[in-house]
Amino acid sequence: MAETVVKITNLVKRYKELIALDNFSMEIQKGEVFGLLGPNGSGKTTTINCLLTLLSYDNGEIELFGEKMTSKRSDLKVRIGVVPQQVAVFDELTVYDNIDFFCGLYIKDKETRKKYVEDAIEFVGLQEFKKFYPKKLSGGLLRRLNIACGIAHKPELIIFDEPTVAVDPQSRNRILEGISRLNEQGATIIYTTHYMEEVEQLCSRILIMDHGKKIAIGTKDELKGMIKNTESVIVNAHGLTQDFIEKVRALNHVYDVSYRDDTLTVKCSGGKHNIVHVVDCFADNEVKYQQIYSILPTLNEVFLEITGKQLRDNE
Amino acid sequence: MYFRVFVYRIKKNLRDRELILWSLLFPIVLGTLFYMALGSIYKNAAVETKSVALVGGTEANTEFVKTTLEGIKSSEGTAMFEVIVADAADEQKLLFKDEVAGVMDISDMSDIRLHIAKDEVAQNVLAHVIGIFRRNAVLMQKAAADPASALKIMNLMTEDTELVKQVNAAGENKDPYVSFMYALLAMVCVMASNAGLQVPIDSQANISTQGARVSITPVNHRMYELASLLAAFVIQVVCTMVGLFMIVGVYKVNMGCSIGFLILICILGTMLGCSLGFMLGHVSKLSKSSKEAILLLFVTFGGFLAGLMFDRMKMIVEMYCPIINRINPSALIHDAFYSLNIFGVGERFYRSMITMVVMTIVFTTIGLVMSRRRSYASI
């Protein structure tokens, strides 16, 4: 049985009248890439801050590596690395000095620290920028420096709090690849974001939260299995009649059909090869179409179906 | 580990252009302005004879005091006081028109009262003379009551007379404008509070992202802050020394005391400034900008009360609320310079220095107590 790295039980956090975390519980096993998914204000960062004992909480328990986490547990803190949402480096220190400074708060031995710092610089690909000051770095490079400062001491548990916000696609891919590599090297990862495609790409298990509550938890396939829609077939066709639309609606596994702006959307629940049945229906009735394709459900649809709202409510 | 923190904080502070610029430019620019504005009169003017008014005394007492005061001479041999006899009703007019250095009410010789409108050398000498009068009055009463001790008492009275002479000759630069330079150096020292304030800002999770990152590390928070404070202090001492060098070395201003004591006061003053900022950074949950604004207000107003903008302000504060001069860091540092110049190393100088040390310890302790590792209700 895998070791439980993080165990949060019935966590309650209130900001006066607002309940930021409402009896929130979760468990993360060693070696997982655990995605914490939710819209802005859902309680992801509050959960992380409580976990790190930066925030006090009203009720509940937090255990790390099987032991109760408190602000005085230096022995547990040394095993954690954090990449915060906002870049947290000193503008007055170079790339190398920043990483060396923060690594030095964990690692006392000079030689070990030196090696770790070099490893971290290589890991995030900042070899050419060692002597640069943060203000001279682009947004993507700055994010990489932020990551290097959080992981240089080779922690067992690494928390990434929305590390790809406002990052260009190239840097984003590099960051996501880096996180996968860290996981391959043995680190347990907690990854909070509201970008579902990142979670789908990275995470072995996902927890969806909203209003401080756990909405759903599981692998991405398990989560997608929780909703009615399993496939949407989209057809671009001009001048479809109501009679024909009713014939499509009558196909097996089809539970909803809509036709708007020359686009027919056929939603299916269960069944295989639904797109083939739709194509056959068009052929049998000698109806022409320009384009036909199938879309599998995303986590956004999972979120939409469970909560009734879009995940990316700010975009 | 904490030595590394110290070294990196030195590096960080040296690269903090805003902090360094203010710490260095302030004494250089303001010192230059003072020098340009007041430099032409930066000469040790000969001691001028000041008028003193006597009110309320009998003819014999008035004559006695008049003879005593007119007998006080500066080290150059100039009489320090010219005595005029006036009515008590004219006292306010004489003082506020600056016609006399002070008004002595001698209606009761055992309790002579001195009324002054300024706190300069002449007034301080008068205050000492009155002190001697009071003590001698008591000694004379004792001698009358116990004739056997008269000889011993006479010796004591002679010693006191010597003391007056020594105090009178202690100062080296009696130019009142040197006071602006004291106030300037005092303000430079207190402005080190900005560097002190930066320490909690960079280490508290609810104020800065860097603070959040530091807070989740396993380091001892207090030791971390102490190492950071020490680094801030070292950088600020260097900046204060540059200011001192500009005033003493470049503009050749006679500060009235030895360079060793000047350096000592600057070091203690900078320590006090750093610890003040360190404490203010810890005592509230305000944002970074609010804390910086409060500190700026505190430093500027403290400088004003210490006489940086208006030279008589310190005296006014001394008259109406002397406790402020005892706890205002700017006034304390200013007073250390002033008392060293006028009275030499003595009670008043030691009082200022000891108060500075005690306040530094208190401020730093308050800051350290409040810097305990903590979880915040919100960040």
ipTM of the complex: 0.83
Residue type, A119: D
Task: Decide if A193 is inside a domain.
Answer: yes
B203 contacts in A (CB within 8 Å)? none
Give residue A271's pLDDT.
82
Q: Which residue has the higher pLDDT, B266 or B172?
A: B266
Residue type, B98: D
Percent over 70 (pLDDT), chain B: 88
For residue B17, give the chain A residue with the closest CA.
A92
Do A220 and A235 lie in a common domain? Answer: no
pLDDT tens column, B31-90: 788 777 766 654 544 567 788 888 888 888 888 888 888 877 766 677 778 888 888 888
- The whole-angstrom separation of Cα A83 and Cα B306 is 47
Do A211 and A275 lie in a common domain? Answer: no
Taking residues A253-260, report their average pLDDT: 93
In the 8-state DSSP scheme, what is residue B40? Answer: G
Backbone angles phi, psi at B108, to 5 degrees: -125, 110
Give residue B164's pLDDT.
41
Residue from B210, B214, B215 to probe the interface with A (highest A Cβ count within 10 Å) = B210
Q: Which residue has the higher pLDDT, B141 or A295?
A: A295
Give residue B47's pLDDT.
61
Is a pLDDT exceeding 80 seen at residue A315?
A: no
Percent over 70 (pLDDT), chain A: 97
B235 contacts in A (CB within 8 Å)? none
With bands split at pLDDT 50, 70 and 90, how would you rate the model's confidence at B167?
very low
Q: Is B77 on the interface with A (CB under 8 A)?
A: no
Task: Decide if A303 is inside a domain.
Answer: no
Give residue B168's pLDDT.
38
- The whole-angstrom separation of Cα B290 and Cα B243 is 28
With CB atoms and an 8 Å threshold, state whether B377 touches A55.
yes
Q: How far is B2 from chain A (nearest CA, A)?
A: 9
pLDDT tens column, A134-188: 999 988 899 999 999 999 999 999 999 988 887 888 888 888 999 999 999 999 9
Task: Decide if A311 is inside a domain.
Answer: no
Task: Decide if A306 is inside a domain.
Answer: no
With CB atoms and an 8 Å threshold, state whether A55 touches B379.
yes
- Report residue B113 as tokens: 């009262």
Place of tokens 């004379």: B140
With CB atoms and an 8 Å threshold, state whether A82 touches B213.
yes
Do A169 and A238 lie in a common domain? Answer: no
For residue A57, give the chain B residue with the closest CA.
B377
Task: Decide if A129 is inside a domain.
Answer: yes
Q: Kindly give the residue spans of alpha helices, DSSP state H, lying in B16-55.
A: 17-38
Do A158 and A253 lie in a common domain? Answer: no
Q: For residue A143, what are the domain limits?
A: 4-224
Give residue B92's pLDDT.
79
* Number of structural domains found in chain A: 2
B15 contacts in A (CB within 8 Å)? 92-93, 133
For residue A85, give the chain B residue with the closest CA.
B209
Which of A224, A259, A277 is the last residue before a domain boundary?
Answer: A224
- The whole-angstrom separation of Cα A26 and Cα A49 is 15
Do A113 and A197 lie in a common domain? Answer: yes
With bands split at pLDDT 50, 70 and 90, how would you rate the model's confidence at B120?
low
The count of CB pairs under 8 A between chains A and B is 83
Picking from B15, B215, B218, the nearest residue to A54 by CB comes out as: B215
Give residue B173's pLDDT.
58
Taking residues B229-238, report their average pLDDT: 95
Q: Element (H or E) spanning B99, and its range?
A: none
Highest mean pLDDT among A121-130, B251-260, B310-319 belongs to: A121-130
Do A275 and A156 lie in a common domain? Answer: no
Do A275 and A194 lie in a common domain? Answer: no
Mean pLDDT across chain A, nearest whole number?
90
Q: Where are the domains of chain B?
A: 2-41+175-370, 50-168
Do A115 and A255 lie in a common domain? Answer: no
Q: Which fold has domain B50-168?
A: D-Maltodextrin-Binding Protein; domain 2 (3.40.190)
Find residues 59-118 of chain A whose CB sits inside 8 Å of chain B.
Answer: 71-72, 74-75, 77-78, 80, 82, 84, 86-90, 92-93, 97, 101-102, 104-106, 108
Do A209 and A262 lie in a common domain? Answer: no
Give residue B143's pLDDT.
77
Is a pLDDT exceeding 90 seen at residue B102?
A: no
Task: Decide if A175 is inside a domain.
Answer: yes
Which of A224, A242, A275 is the last residue before a domain boundary?
Answer: A224
With bands split at pLDDT 50, 70 and 90, how would you rate the model's confidence at B132?
confident
Q: Which residue has the higher pLDDT, A309 or B271?
A: B271
Look up the CATH number of the domain holding residue A275: 3.30.70.100
Total count of residues recorded for chain B: 379
Do A173 and A278 lie in a common domain? Answer: no
Taking residues A7-29, report their average pLDDT: 93
Q: How far is B13 from chain A (nearest CA, A)?
A: 8
Picking from A97, A105, A149, the nearest residue to B219 by CB comes out as: A105
A56 contacts in B (CB within 8 Å)? 375-377
Give residue A270's pLDDT.
84
Is a pLDDT exceeding 90 seen at residue B184?
A: no
Place of tokens 């947290």: A88
Residue from A45, A48, A49 to probe the interface with B (highest B Cβ count within 10 Å) = A49
The rounded Cα A168 to chain-centroid distance in angstroms is: 17
In the 8-state DSSP scheme, what is residue B148? Answer: G
What is the 3-state composition of chain B as percent helix, strand, coil, each rounded to the nearest 5?
70, 5, 25
Mean pLDDT across chain B, nearest whole number?
82
Do A19 and A129 lie in a common domain? Answer: yes
With CB atoms and an 8 Å threshold, state whether B216 touches A88.
no
Is a pLDDT exceeding 70 seen at residue B1?
A: yes
Task: Decide if A71 is inside a domain.
Answer: yes
Total count of residues recorded for chain A: 315
Which of A182, A197, A224 is the last residue before a domain boundary?
Answer: A224
Sheet bearing B50-55, strands edge to edge: B81-85, B50-55, B102-105, B113-116
Do A167 and A57 lie in a common domain? Answer: yes
Look up the CATH number of the domain holding residue A106: 3.40.50.300
